[in-house]
Structure 1
Amino acid sequence: MLGGFAVRVDGRPVPDHQWRHTRAAELVKMLALADRRRMNREQVIDQLWPDLDPAAGAANLRKAIHFARRALGSPDAIDSRSEMIALFPNGTVMVDAEVFETGARRALAARAGYGVADSYAGDLLPEDRYASWAEEPRDRLRTLRLELLKSAGLWHRVLAIDPADEQAHRGLMQSALEAGDRAAVVRQFELLRRHLRADLGVGPDRTSIGLYEKALAMGAATTAPTARELTQSLLARALVQLNSGDHGECERTARRARSLAIESGLGREMGEASAVLGILANMRGGWPELFRAEFADSVRRDPELAGHVLDAHLCLAEFSLYSAAGHEWIGDYAESLRSTAQTADSIQGRAMAELLLGESALFSARLGEARSRLAAAAALYEHGGTIAGLVLSRLRLAEAMLASGERSAAVGELKGVLPLAEKGWLEPHLVVRTYAILVEAAGAGPSAVRQVERADRALVGRNVCPPCSLGYLVAAAKTFADTGHRDQARRRLTDAERLAGMWPGGAWQAAVWEARGALRRAAGDLERAHSFYLEAADRFDEVGRPLDRDRCRSQAASVTIAGRPR
């Protein structure tokens, strides 16, 4: 079960081809994980066939039991004579997952986790990644493994599993501090900061900052802290203040960090300080005014510094495009930015203005204008050497191609963009956006499901910006609903609904209604599917998105109720 499904009966392996009936294998897996290797008949049916009526579910269960007995080589392998379905009720069953869990809990109680951690052969049933019944035990065993590694102080192995685990980073920092290795503490703190991400509004906690500042003080007598080290300390403190609600102090600390970064020519740190100030301004409802001021200031500076500041605001600019106010206001706003950039002769500033104008045209279904402006933005970003803006411009260009019916051209564009998205400093924002459009471009059917599976594998272990993941969640939910994977569709939709709550109204709320319609359609609830698609269409119409509106109206019209199109 750990690392993959394999069965031995009396020491002899059951060949893989014996499990060609998927439900028979799933039944054995579920029983092997169940308490005392038995489950209630109705519980099994609910897990494996949640959408069937009781009679059909019972018939399918009988077939699964038949094929499972055949694979296991004995009619006694599964007992189904009562309401409880049991696996080898008269035999001894050993399950590696259970052996690991029992040993892990004993080791943790005895504070001796080193040896047991090595018996973890891999995640539970990786081939059943999307099976809801496997999720809780898989997560439980993963957590146990991490607890074992932490109890043994194996911090590097913890970070190999979860690069953003702050306790592990702090453990290494503490060890380095005790050894008097100031440089190692500084390196580890910087690694922690990069994994937590200031641009996502997340930073080290007070304890980690305290260790870092102790290390800086340790060498102060002979080596003063560098400007970068001081700036990083200020940025970390600003994030603690932001997340604790001390917004006034956060603003003062972030502005100190920004000033120090500007004086020292630290582009990345200047961008991170701008991101913190932007997040704070967005929380206060004043992001457009702050960005206008920062834009005017940055385009007059060194182009590299300007690029970092503008990149830091890209996600917030995108956030604003999806607000309840819609996107049309951005046109005049972007024109004023372009005028400022032209006066300052700033390539990065002109590129961002063209990007915003291109996005506004795309959302308004002015596809010719959109493609022209987005291509111009991409060329300017490429000339200025700004990866994040280049990636976002090309992603929007791919969306315009899809809207024009040029699917193959869009896929080619996306495949060229993905490597760039993966290496930029805004990778947590851009990679998940790229996969969202790749899923949309895959169309419907098994190819779309395979694209979601590839995306899921690629996103494991990555930092992902929650708002930027919304498009991917909606696309995945619709894909799973359209292919009959309703349980997976529900999971993605639940996550999307939670994130869409950040926008009171707006395009993402409309997109969630569309995904709800797809799920209701998959469940055969055609009345509600029809209503949900129309709700989505109305909401898209309210924010001026005719392409999305018309798609949802078409979906509503295609729903058949009582044998007649509505």
Structure 2
Amino acid sequence: MLTVSFMDNPILRLDGRPLDDKVSQKTIALLALLMMRENKTMRRAELIDILWPDSSEDAGKYNLRFNLWQLRKALGERDDKTLVLGSRADCRINPDYEYVCDIEIVERCRLAEASYSTASGTPGADRINSEDSTASSASTRCAGPYSSASGDLEKSGGDELETVLDMFRRDFLSDYYFRGCSELNDMIVMERYRLENQYLRLMRAYVRRTFEEGNYPKSLAAAEKALEMDPYDEDITYIQLSILLNRGNFSEAGKQYQRFRMKLMADIGVEPSEALKELFRDFTLPDPEHPEPVEFLFTSVSVPQYFWLTDLLRAMYEKDDFRLTDYATQAQLEDFAYMQYRLRHDSTVPTKTAVTTTSATTGRMTKTFAPPIERILDELLTVIDAVCGSGVPVNFSLTPGSEISESLYGITQILAARNGDKFHFKRADAAAGTKDGPMR
């Protein structure tokens, strides 16, 4: 059986044996182009234009014939049983050839889930205790894509979705880049974007399905993943909070609700829906209008003078009940990351000092420039203002023995003036307890 996994490595397996080293990258791209088409067919001239845009007509035709031959040889095909059928005008995937392809399975699963809907709309907390919460009929299952290769999966709806979601191991053709083939590279990027959206849709469906099946641990874990991708999804938040509340985890439910509310207000300017607010009516929770303050304990020294900023950012990243990503943009987070670099050097390091970073996804090394310290300070002010503006008090607490530098003193003065009672600067004194500031 041939397995084609564009989101895994290796991509081609025949009866479990990897074949990627037996074909060229253009052969993989050729197969991907055909699989991406709804009818699995493309004209030869179009394939040549995309795969070999700078070749002459004769060279392009030869390259296409060679890659088709290379694929047949790797698969050990006979003339009467080939994966790719060719005519003088076009190439197409043989509908009678037995194979499994991840992107086909994902698409068919998405179409099956599109027809699935719950009987009572948005799930409510009262459905947690329902004993007859089950998946809908088997006709909505995602097993359909498997039927041409391995038969229907003998699993429940949630487990089938889990199997499909597990296919998203890597980005589509994640290690592939084709020099001189701009159209091909653009098509690959667009397919990655499309599949990323497919993954989010299926993850949402998985959250709903496992919730209805009563598999709350899986539903809760999946809801957290879905909200990482789309933090504004109120339906998934509803399910997440419903499970937490009915488990008696009121504190965590309150924190999650507050984070969601603050995210909506800060980024979109809207409050959660009445349905989401109604969830908390019968539960005793911390007053969302008067949340507990968040406290950052950090150290300050005189040299280097911005050590306090680096240690404060560390405290913010490591705080269990605080998520910096709820308040800072991606650009701000990247700027904050440079503080560790600056700490290893003199605080007067030039603004345009190059920093070499390695991408976690592509593995490529790039050089960027450290941001000016003034910008980082301004971004810190913006973030703390956003936290205080969302209603959460902030306490800056210095460790015993810390020194208060001019830069720290100036920042705390600005924050106190802007945020009033929502901001406090304290020194944790081992002998005398905690003292309010600002202090010099």
Structure 1 length-normalised TM: 0.39
More relative contact order, 1 or 2 (CA 8 Å, 6+ apart): 2
- In proportion to residue count, which structure has more helix? 1
> Which is strand-richer, 1 or 2?
2
